[in-house]
Amino acid sequence: MPGWAKLPGSDSDPARILVVGDSISAEYGIGRNTGWVALLGRQLTSRGTKAEILNASISGDTTSGGVSRLAVLLDKFRPDIVIIELGANDALRGLSMDMSLSNLTQMVQRSKSAGAKVILAGMQIPPNYGRDYVEAFKGVFTTVAKTEKVYLVPFLLEGVADQRSLFQADGLHPNESAQPIMTGNIMKVLAPLLKP
């Protein structure tokens, strides 16, 4: 089980941030501690924000996987904020969009019931999947955020997705140069929720 990364200067009651994601958040193919979650921690430290971050992301994870392991994470770590970054693998595997929506909704509801604020990190898929499917997938995140009244990062890869130079050779996973941009996208939504 991963442990909390205590940020320097945190007092006895820092905000606890739980990140539940897939390879985009699990530093797939890039150096350890160079991913957006690690950069987020360093940025919060530089701002003097008292926070601890637990990155519970697993490469290849789906929304179903997230649902199955979230309860244990919530119970053990009792986060104040949960960032959910899942769904892309559902689409890449052609899984039911209704199932993805249901799973994300369950994760959001469980996090809220545990007393956490929720940030949903929206994802999009390449246009070659067809316009209707692409738009429907994008709408899953908007629908869940609106229905459950939680915070939404419209597209985690905003400013990255249209830049081939910001991806690894597989064309799917952002490289190290992309990570600060992704951190910035999260910070726009996260920063107002945290005390300095």
CATH code for the domain in which residue 66 is found: 3.40.50.1110
Catalytically annotated residue among 23, 25, 57, 100: 23
* CA proximity to 104, closest of 124, 125, 118: 118
Q: What is the pLDDT of residues 104-127, one digit of tens each?
A: 999 999 999 999 999 999 999 888
Q: How many domains does the chain have?
A: 1
**Torsions phi, psi of 133, nearest 5?**
-70, -40
How far, rounded to the nearest angstrom, does the alpha carbon of residue 89 sit from its chain's CA centroid? 13
Check if 23 is active-site: yes
pTM over cut 0.85: yes
CA distances from 32 to 36, 125, 176 (A): 11, 26, 10
Rounded to an integer, the average pLDDT of 2-18 is 61
pLDDT value at residue 130: 84
The SS3 assignment for 51 reads strand
Give first-to-last CA distance, the chain, whole Å.
29
Mean pLDDT of 120-144: 91
Q: Is 170 an active-site residue?
A: yes
Question: pLDDT at residue 23 above 90?
Answer: yes
Q: What is the span of the domain harbouring residue 12?
A: 5-193
Q: Average model confidence (pLDDT) for the chain?
A: 92
